[in-house]
Structure 1
Amino acid sequence: MLRVLVIEDDGETAAEIVEDFSAAGFAVTLETDGPAGLARAQAEPFDVVTLDRMLPGLDGLALLDRLRAAGVSTPVLVLSALSSVDERIRGLRAGGDDYLSKPFFAAELRARVEVLARRPSDRDITVLRFADLQLDLIGRAARRGERLLDLYPREFKLLEFLVRHAEQVVTRAMLFEQVWGYRFDPGTNLVDVHLGKLRRKVDGPGEPALIHTVRGTGFVLRAPGP
């Protein structure tokens, strides 16, 4: 049975979602505000979370950000009346797995939840691979090809984040938040210093560069060209 957490403050919308999911045989839990939704998502295992963008007590994207920072990898489908491209991008970059604009058809919401539930969970992944990089998440060991990388814990965490977001530009703010746990830019070159050290370890002499600086924006882990 599919376990779904619905975080939705609009009574009518929540009732419709719960009714449809229950009729489909899902085990549904409902929370109607941000703090309660966050606490429930962290405390219990769910297959999928549907998350309203605008919530009392804690904004949906702030909730999502805290959930990911806490290491909860449950797939999240963001529901919102804000349907612009920029809003959809914000929802996905905050850690959402899918984004559905309101109003929506119940059948489409149910289908999207079922698709998310079929995806392999990050909780089952113990090794990350990109190009010739390999990260053992249990042993906390990293290799490039046959070469073992001598990484400090913070460097391993940085590289893990880059691998999980490979081919995507990650900003300094994202790294401050996800790797250091800062909710603000401390106004230092901390990220650049650590990335410089990590780059020298990952991109060895004669090896194609994997870590690239995107001027004025951040960094990207990119596979070498043909």
Structure 2
Amino acid sequence: MRVLLVEDDDRIAGDITGSLVRAGYAVQRATDGEEAWFRGETEDFDAAILDLGLPKLDGLTVLKRWRAAGRGMPILVLSARGTWAERVDGIDAGADDYLPKPFRIEELLARLRAIIRRSAGRPGPVLENGPVVLDPRQMKVTVDGVPIALSPQEYRLLSYLMHHAGRVVPQLELTEHLYAQDYERDSNAIEVLVGRLRRKLGIDFIETRRGFGYLVPEPTE
């Protein structure tokens, strides 16, 4: 999952980035409102964490511009402004959730998981698809109840495909959402990663659609 973090405070941004990376997210950071607006409008992200108190362009304006441009990624607003009126302004502008500063990183991660889950139309935190179960709270994957040890990249790949079950995901999209922007991209990286993940899962779960991408079927009732 690729997350845009918009935060001008280096210490806060460092703490959030470290926690997100450990939780399996690929993080891109913007340090001011103008950069955030441009990147959010020209790049695809699975979610954004947006501070309101930004230089050059305030976060509320960034949020309104994104929504006016039709950008539908889930957005978690962070702000030291904690009044109910300011929270209402953020939600009315198109935020999916609002977290006042100071906050616990565990709550930020939980709220981020929730807005990504809702945007994918999944009410519960645990992803279940046939014998495969992925619990993002514990970063744990099981197949027929047996825990499977995955690398961070393998986990990200499986999580992304399961969040988009029923849709063929192009290889380029996977590359953009699994790796940081400055990653030196090998044209075969995704193919190799899919192969490793298939071997570890040990079941026929990820389909290859030649020339199109990869598919995890929709869960059956």
After TM superposition, the score normalised by the length of structure 1 is 0.52
Letter of the 1:79 partner, please give it.
L
Percent of residue pairs identical:
47
Q: Which residue of 1 aligns with 2:47?
A: 48
For structure 2, the residue ranges without an aligned partner over 5 or more in a row are: 122-221
1:73–1:121: 8 Å Cα contact kept in structure 2? no
| 1:89 matched residue in structure 2 | 88
Correspondence list, 1:1-226, <5 A: 2-120=1-119
Per-residue deviation, residues 19-72 of structure 1 (Å, max 9, x unmatched): 100111101000100010111111111111000011001000000001111110
Name the amino acid aligned to 1:69: A
The structure, 1 or 2, with the larger RCO (C-alpha pairs under 8 Å, 6+ apart) is 2
Q: Which whole-Å CA distance do the structure 2 matches of 1:52 and 1:67 have between them? A: 14
- Distance in structure 2 (CA, Å) of the matches to 1:121 and 1:95: 17
Deviation at 1:121, TM superposition (A): 5.4
Q: Distance in 1 between matches of 2:88 and 2:120?
A: 22
Q: CA deviation at 1:76?
A: 0.6
Q: What is the distance in 2 between the residues matched to 1:116 and 1:46?
A: 13
1:3 to partner: Cα distance: 1.1
In the alignment, residue 19 of structure 2 is paired with which amino acid? D
Runs of 4+ in 1 over 4 A off after TM superposition: none
Question: 2:178 is matched with which residue?
Answer: none
Cα separation, 2, equivalents of 1:57 and 1:73: 23
RMSD of aligned Cα (Å): 1.2
Where in structure 1 are there 5+ consecutive unaligned residues?
123-226
Q: 1:91 is matched by which residue type in structure 2?
A: G
Letter in 1 for 2:89: R
CA contact (8 A) 1:81 1:103 kept: yes
Q: 1:114-164 CA distances to partner (integer Å, 9 max, x unpaired)?
A: 111112359xxxxxxxxxxxxxxxxxxxxxxxxxxxxxxxxxxxxxxxxxx
Deviation string 1:78-128 (CA, Å, 9 cap, x unpaired) is 100011111100110111110000000001101111111112359xxxxxx
Counterparts in 2 of 1:20 and 1:118: CA distance versus 1, 3 Å: same
Q: How many residues of Structure 1 are paired with residues of Structure 2 in the alignment?
A: 121
Distance 1:120 1:24 in 2: 19
TM-score, reference length from structure 2: 0.53
